[in-house]
Structure 1
């Protein structure tokens, strides 16, 4: 990977830069969709847009936080792709969330267009499974004038930070508009806890799909991130499934449904993280032993059930014989009495 600006620090092969310029755009959502340019658009306007985009590149290359990564494209300066790491204390913690960005032909008069790689999951009230991102800053959501895109001051960096902090937040349920206040805060807080559990499940499923189908130009980041964070993620998941949360976003009790879902996902996550080179062999062994134990328990249960059912069938069979014998005896007695009469 190469650096764009001379004053950008160079990176060794084993380091992953926050910002970089790459060439492969083949899986970018907007790769085959050039945003329309009016015939009346002047060369000077196009040059002005390109200049502004290059300024955005420089801002990103110098100011990205450690939890956001961006790739620009050599042959399509109107496109970007960003990876955002879910913040600690949220149901998105340690997840990787990918957004494809396209600059309009009259940028910055209009905000960028953003597409989220959902893998079919709706992880937030503001982010849909069709990739749509609803945010005031993108002019895709209602908001105060101060919250909307400002062609003089708004930037892509501001946009990415807003998605991370305001959308993928600690209590995303409250991103829902117009929750009826008469039901009380306590009612909605309870709903929020349930929603967070569901969002973490979807976040884990997204992790698995990101690992199976990594987005281009982010393969090293994806592998390294989950290799580095595997232990923390799995410790959190293990505590969730056991109903004893001590890590992650849960501060109190978890529901039985959430425990069951985490129990089913835990082994799959351990196996997926093991393929990144993460040191999870002890956990793999634990998962194998648990699987064997569950298989034995199932066999024992099936055997006990079969035995119980067999006894029931035997009892029913005997009862049928008794009833049949009684019925036959009664008929014989009736016939004997008829013969006498």
Structure 2
């Protein structure tokens, strides 16, 4: 279902790709994550050229064949060979807070995602020289979280000065208003502003779409509005029917549980003869073999991976609902390690279980980082849902972290209860979860969750 590459090979190939792009267009300011400007020639034509579209989409990540060759070389040399370096995953609190500061102060154009220094922690000057020239604004406020006095470091609730009853009443009123908006949040809705959508520069642009095409998209809307599962939320755009944004909740029983995963989608101009395009907002993290840190989603239904005939896009039968449900069920699953082609037969028995558990532990750490990333920068039109979701699930997430730090198997959370059972986790993983849990306590408290301090411990 995917093609993999070692981190070293990926970074080297990305650096090579950047140099090639800069050589062709010295004035380009496109970001690695998204490469939106690479589609600019398509805009003037009014409609997309499908061959160019597929080529551009593939070029946003490294060529799959090159990646597989590089991975094969690694397989020969490394017995513990599944594309993650522990040092990349287990960041210290200081590393993450440094990243936060850099990310919050970056001013990026709509639809372009920040290239976050998750894998390494270079200085700001090194970041800007090696990627795009970033405009540093004058410390804009954080979009998602409510403002908090003082620094973002953890502070005990007992240290907060007492508030007047009137200010407490105002705060309670705000809390009630947020949770009411969250509870009333529609699973499907039509919205207006598409300016921050990843594919806003593609599609029909200023042209009027054909009536037959528009009718088919409206049929897709009706299917989504009627049949979306409870854990998938969608927004479509009245003025740009080809654009769609989805937020998927990570399924229980997986290392993605309770996380929010954001995808921008595009219905091509010859839909349904061609499958939709889908972009994943990764935050610079690759937490699944099928979800690249550059935003590529590798799925046979999308034509981005080879599959058996019935697994591919079938015009007239396949739908956008099928795409979204497939992402949730097939990609965000309980054992993502085995999404890597060949691993199910190559790693069997005890060895396969050991590698799968280790991979899931690393994925869970990245999923926690994705929660923080999404809280800080919630997608447009999903702000109330993001804040309400994490306020509602804060104790469940923290309880899971606590259980995992004590040796419970990752993904053992079923519903609202953490199941104690198989012991798992290296000491490094357990201590990393404990550190992340302390950071989440601060995030969730700032987001309005109460009694989170009970989960804070020594990291």
TM-score range, shorter chain: 0.7 to 0.9
Which residue in the other structure is 1:89 paired with? 253
- Deviations along 1:168-217, one digit per CA (max 9) or x if unpaired, are 00001111002384653321221100000000000000000100111111
Where relative contact order (Cα < 8 A, 6+ residues apart) is larger, the structure is 2
Counterpart in the other structure of 1:256: 427
Correspondence for 1:155: 319
Please state whether the residue corresponding to 2:338 is helix, strand or coil.
Answer: helix
- Residue in structure 2 matched with residue 17 of structure 1 by the alignment: 186
What's the offset of the Cα at 1:143?
0.3
How far apart are the structure 2 equivalents of 1:181 and 1:156?
A: 31
Corresponding residue to 1:275 among 446, 451, 455: 446
Displaced runs of 4+ in structure 1, greater than 4 A? 244-247
Q: Distance in 2 between matches of 1:157 and 1:244?
A: 34
Contact (CA 8 Å) 2:337, 2:356: kept in 1 or not? yes
Residue 175 of structure 1 pairs with residue 339 of structure 2: yes
Counterpart of 1:318 in structure 2 is none
3-state DSSP class of the match of 1:72? strand
| CA-CA distance at 1:251 after TM superposition | 4.4
Measure the CA separation in 2 of the matches of 1:34 and 1:215: 21
Residue in 2 that maps onto 1:238: 402
For 1:223, the equivalent position in structure 2 comes to 387
Aligned to 1:188: 352
- Cα separation, 1, equivalents of 2:193 and 2:349: 48
CA shift in 2, pair 1:63/1:184, >3 Å: closer
Q: Does 1:212 align with 2:398?
A: no
Structure 1 residue 252 displacement after superposition: 3.0
Change (3 A) 1:261 1:86: same
Normalising by the residue count of structure 2, what TM-score does the alignment of the two structures yield? Answer: 0.56
Q: How many equivalent pairs are there? A: 272
8 Å CA contact 2:407–2:423 kept in 1: the answer is no
Per-residue deviation, 1:281: 4.4
Structure number, greater radius of gyration: 1
Paired residue for 1:32, among 201, 223, 228? 201
SS of the residue aligned with 1:97?
Answer: strand
Q: Secondary structure at 2:450's aligned position in 1?
A: coil
Deviations, residues 241-289 of structure 1 (Å, cap 9, x unaligned): 2334695288432221210110111111011111222223443xx63xx
Which position in structure 2 is the counterpart of 1:119?
283
Q: Which moved more, 1:238-247 or 1:125-134?
A: 238-247
Given that 2:338 and 2:344 are in contact with CA atoms closer than 8 Å, whether structure 1 keeps it comes out as: no
In structure 2, relative to structure 1, the CA distance for the partners of 1:34 and 1:237 (3 Å cut) is: same
Find the aligned partners of 2:346 and 2:195 in 1 and give their Cα distance. Answer: 50
Q: Aligned partners of 2:344, 2:449: CA distance in 1, in Å?
A: 46
Aligned to 2:299: 135
Is the CA contact (8 Å cut-off) linking 1:270 and 1:280 kept in structure 2? no
Deviations 1:43-87 (Å, cap 9, x if unpaired)? Answer: 8x8211111101000110111111000000121110000000000
Higher share in helix: 1
What are the ranges of 5 or more consecutive residues in structure 2 without an aligned counterpart? 1-179, 415-420
Alignment partner of 1:265 out of 436, 445, 459 = 436
Seen in structure 2, the aligned counterparts of structure 1 residues 106 and 183 have a Cα distance that, compared at 3 Å, is: closer
| C-alpha separation in 2, matches of 1:251 and 1:109 | 47
Alignment partners' CA distance in 2, 1:46 and 1:143? 31
Residues 36, 105 of structure 1: 8 Å contact kept:
no
Distance 1:138-1:189 versus aligned 2 partners, 3 A rule: same
CA distance in 2, matches of 1:63, 1:76: 22
CA contact (8 A) 2:387 2:447 kept: yes
**Counterpart-to-counterpart distance in 2, 1:243 and 1:273:** 23
Q: 1:215-259, CA deviations, whole angstroms, 9 ceiling, x for partnerless residues?
A: 111001101111111111000001112334695288432221210
Selected match of 2:239 from 56, 63, 75: 75
Structure-1 separation of matches of 2:261 and 2:298: 15
Q: Which residue of 2 aligns with 1:98?
A: 262
- Distance, in Å, in 2 between the alignment partners of 1:110 and 1:125 is 24
